[in-house]
Structure 1
Amino acid sequence: MTTQAHPAADAGQGRIPFQNTPVPETEPSLSERVKADGARFVLATFVDLTGKPCAKLVPAHSVDRLASEGAGFAGYAAGALGQTPTDPEVMAVPDPASYTPLPFVRPGLAMVHCDPYVEGRPWPFAPRVILRTALERLAAAGFTAQVGAEAEYFLVERDGDALSPADPLDRSAQPCYDARALTRMYDHLTGISDAVNSLGWDNYANDHEDANGQFEQNFTHADALTTADRIITFRYLVHAMSEAAGMTATFMPKPFTDRTGTGLHLHMSLWDDNDDPVFPDPADPRGLGLSDTAYGFIAGILRHAPALQSVIAPTVNSYKRTGATSTASGATWAPRTASYGGNDRTHLIRVPDQDRFEVRAVDGAANPYLAMAVLLGAGLDGLDRNLDAGPPGRALDKAPPLPPTLLHAAEALAADDVVRGTLDAADPLARVSGYYGRLKREEFLAWHSQVTPWEIDRYLTAF
């Protein structure tokens, strides 16, 4: 086994240089992958802390240079990356294992996910670096993580500030699983399915979700980093292919006041050094078939749920989803308290079987790298401190409530050493969590300062 590190990485600057995932010597290089596919251009891609995909379009003849030097970006211009206009370039170094051909978007197009570096060192504000660091800590504890994702989204049309489903016939009171609505979106859904399956992700189901215009497309679980990369690629595919069909795709958590919101439910499991699952225990006295390790991990997530919300429900709009009490269909399907239970979708953590659990508080705006990192960090804290998850199926009105707004969640983050420590782990001196928390508070206050139609309706002639 060999490891690939950025050639400029300097071990003499006080920290160990970041290394990409070990790659067998027989694995093809990025250049070999590009040539084998006949790709003409490669999107060298990374995301900022908000999940915005940033990329440079690199021609095939320059891929060797991309692999050896990286692609340079002005970090401040790219987005929320902890930089100012005076800071040096962010160099996006490709991970060949993430190479993904995208001919269904444009002929000859491909994508590769990158790890951002600055002056030869991994950039601690980069979400992919943060997840890698969390996975290193998980490995040190003797575990690896498998993660599956339920990717929900809406297909809409926009007329000024008004949104409506892209399918004008999609207006029934309970549209979930409607075969007719699925058929009307057949071309879009099968196009995405064919693309995903051509990449080897194994799309195994596609359905109409609980809200008008809302869909979900599932693909098989993988290791955490691979699944996070795939979520970013999937969002890109859905946006690009829906735009080509004259529709707008949105992963916004709550685009309609009276309709169900959009989740990014994550199914998580841990495996030991022998590649055996550690969650199952048929003798579980609590009745869910889980081991003490699984319960400790769940307890950590529940204990840190308020601070976790600032990352897994990261927008002002997110709290319109978790704060909803009802929708037109009769249910919200979003958790409001830090509870867990069996195959029960009202809980923050659902346990559908003994092999995994599902975190249902993660929404469509979540940055998958950050979401997985903080969930793993919280779960490990549960194991380290031998926390007790309590009885499964606790009454929802007795479980701790989740933060009602993004501001409350940001305040919970500021008070939570474990979640902050996970965000800061790549370089504690960088204080990533403080920077992230300020972004969230500023986002809330920017929204709060706006005068809305609700206020006009309520106050204009009230006094």
Structure 2
Amino acid sequence: MTSVATPEVQTGQSVPAEAGRISLADIAKAHDVRFLLATFVDMTGKPCAKLVPVEAADELEAGAMGFAGYAAGLIGQKPQDSDLIAVPDLTSFTPVPFIKEGLAIIHCDPHVDGKPWPYAPRVILKNTLARLAGKGMQAKVGAEVEYFLVNKNPDGSLSTADARDDSPRPCYDARGVTRMYEHLTSISEAMNGLGWGNYANDHEDAAGQFEQNFNYADALTTADRVVTLRYILNILAEQRGMTATFMPKPFTDRTGTGLHFHLSLWSGADALFPGDDDSADDGGRGLGLSDLAYSFIGGILEHAPALQAFLAPTVNSYKRSGATTSSSGATWSPRKASFGGNDRTHMIRVPDEKRIELRSGDGSANPYLAIATAIEAGLDGVTKGSDPGAPCGPGEAREGAHLLPATLLHAVEALRRDPVILASLSGDEAIGEYYADAKEEEFLAWHNQVSDWEIRTYLTSI
């Protein structure tokens, strides 16, 4: 996000400082912004916003913008509850002139009756990061955002937006990237204009699937950027007559869409995951990690089944993780709670001694909740000194490793059995129960629909 900590911002424009304070109105005017999207997400990750003219920026900043929380979505409110008040975080100010001239996004923390609302995903992550800071640590996170570009046909089916993108193994295909040049470069230029450091744009494993990478940052900034990037991708794709979807498994025979997180812990400028020179062999594991890093991994593996309720939070998620093959020959989705070195067959990959990659999340994950619960699981491992054992080889898992849930209902049941993860949302088990109940209802709503598969299989089977 564009920094507002000093009068100089990343666009090179000067933001006026009056009496040592920079207001939201000052920042907006310095960027020629006329309207603000005051944005927050509900627990499903749906972006909710009000379009606020810059003339009302002071009211927004003062906490005068109310939302009917129950109408906004899954965010812990009933129709009779007090308004959610969107309190903007000025450090998240993001001009988006490539979408609409004079428009900016600002991420907000919902408050109710003057206090941060503990069901709000951004508030949940901030609470986790505050707990982490109390232990003298900070989290840095990178995110790999995958998505499909599709068209919806008159019969309701989906087709690849690029009709020529039909190879069973199109990953890294230079021709597919070139045909989508205008779309990919517009997203790249948007990210770089915002100072995110886009460094790669590629065709992913499935026909119609792409990934565009940006630099890691502190955990809250990265979560904000994932939400912002999804919005940017959706709008710019629509402007070109396409739909950008983060649905985990939009096509039965193709690889699904992941949302992988690269996690590391720091103390000030010191990275805490690399092992020191005196323990370079790290107990014979050979990955160069510290004891703290291994305990953090151990915590994630121990709580893996419950974590999937947040990392893979939809019915469709388990069509991806349960797939046994795809047209390319691989699913790239882990089935067990295992870890290994630079090996993409595991839930946790360790590409180097500085970070771990959590690979079991998919495109439907809410980045705030996914990051918060993963950190909470890792911290529990650090507190208990969990030992993940030795790293596993390709396709292997240690004896007793958890199987990841087979369906959303299994994930909900695992969440209810795990008191650490159930209580990890703002430290309140009731919030975890609320989320679990909502996800169970989502599963049952799907389960109660009669599908084409059932008609084909059972109509004349007896």
Paired residue for 1:86, among 80, 87, 90? 80
Cα shift at 1:142: 1.5
Cα shift at 1:29: 2.8
CA–CA separation in structure 2 for the residues paired with 1:366 and 1:313: 6
* Alignment of 1:198 onto 2:200: no
Letter in 2 for 1:53: P
Letter in 1 for 2:246: F
Per the alignment, residue 20 of structure 1 pairs with none
Q: Retained in 2: the 8 A contact 1:424–1:433?
A: no
Letter in 2 for 1:98: S
Per the alignment, residue 416 of structure 1 pairs with 418
Per the alignment, residue 117 of structure 1 pairs with 111
Q: Retained in 1: the 8 A contact 2:117–2:123?
A: yes
Per the alignment, residue 14 of structure 2 pairs with none
Paired residue for 2:61, among 57, 67, 89? 67
Q: Retained in 2: the 8 A contact 1:307–1:419?
A: yes
RMSD of aligned C-alpha atoms? 1.2
The TM-score with structure 2 as length reference comes to: 0.93
Cα shift at 1:70: 4.0
Cα shift at 1:32: 1.6
Q: Which SS does the other structure have where 2:305 is aligned? A: helix
CA–CA separation in structure 1 for the residues paired with 2:65 and 2:347: 40
CA–CA separation in structure 1 for the residues paired with 2:121 and 2:291: 30
* Alignment of 1:142 onto 2:150: no
Q: Which SS does the other structure have where 2:62 is aligned? A: helix
Q: Which SS does the other structure have where 1:177 is aligned? A: coil
Q: Retained in 2: the 8 A contact 1:410–1:441?
A: yes
CA–CA separation in structure 1 for the residues paired with 2:91 and 2:359: 29
Q: Which SS does the other structure have where 2:111 is aligned? A: strand
Distance 1:253 1:397, change over 3 A: farther
CA–CA separation in structure 2 for the residues paired with 1:290 and 1:397: 19
Tell me how many residue pairs correspond in the alignment: 435
Cα shift at 1:83: 0.8
Q: Retained in 1: the 8 A contact 2:302–2:402?
A: no
Per the alignment, residue 242 of structure 1 pairs with 237
Paired residue for 2:264, among 257, 269, 272? 269
Per the alignment, residue 306 of structure 1 pairs with 305
Q: Retained in 2: the 8 A contact 1:70–1:94?
A: no
Distance 1:355 1:27, change over 3 A: farther
Letter in 2 for 1:104: F
CA–CA separation in structure 2 for the residues paired with 1:64 and 1:86: 28
CA–CA separation in structure 1 for the residues paired with 2:425 and 2:389: 27
Per the alignment, residue 352 of structure 2 pairs with 353
CA–CA separation in structure 1 for the residues paired with 2:195 and 2:342: 29
Per the alignment, residue 13 of structure 1 pairs with none
Unaligned ranges ≥5, structure 2: 1-18
* Alignment of 1:217 onto 2:212: yes
Unaligned ranges ≥5, structure 1: 1-24
Per the alignment, residue 165 of structure 1 pairs with 160
Q: Retained in 2: the 8 A contact 1:47–1:54?
A: yes
Cα shift at 1:283: 3.5
Q: Retained in 1: the 8 A contact 2:42–2:75?
A: yes
Per the alignment, residue 402 of structure 2 pairs with 400
Q: Which SS does the other structure have where 2:270 is aligned? A: coil
* Alignment of 1:279 onto 2:270: no
Letter in 1 for 2:76: G
Name the % identity: 61
CA–CA separation in structure 1 for the residues paired with 2:135 and 2:343: 30
CA–CA separation in structure 2 for the residues paired with 1:138 and 1:420: 18
Per the alignment, residue 7 of structure 1 pairs with none
Per the alignment, residue 26 of structure 2 pairs with 32
Per the alignment, residue 187 of structure 1 pairs with 182
Cα shift at 1:26: 5.9
CA–CA separation in structure 2 for the residues paired with 1:397 and 1:340: 9
CA–CA separation in structure 2 for the residues paired with 1:99 and 1:286: 43
Distance 1:27 1:323, change over 3 A: farther
Letter in 2 for 1:115: D
Q: Retained in 1: the 8 A contact 2:40–2:48?
A: yes
Q: Retained in 1: the 8 A contact 2:259–2:363?
A: yes
Q: Retained in 1: the 8 A contact 2:89–2:106?
A: yes
Q: Which SS does the other structure have where 2:324 is aligned? A: coil
Letter in 2 for 1:332: T
Matches within 5 A, 1:328-347: 328-347=327-346
Question: CA offsets per residue over residues 210-269 of structure 1, 9 Å max, x none?
Answer: 000000000000000000000000000000000000000000001011100101100000
Q: Which SS does the other structure have where 1:200 is aligned? A: coil
Letter in 2 for 1:43: L
Letter in 2 for 1:94: P
Q: Retained in 2: the 8 A contact 1:174–1:210?
A: yes
Per the alignment, residue 290 of structure 1 pairs with 289
CA–CA separation in structure 2 for the residues paired with 1:70 and 1:370: 26
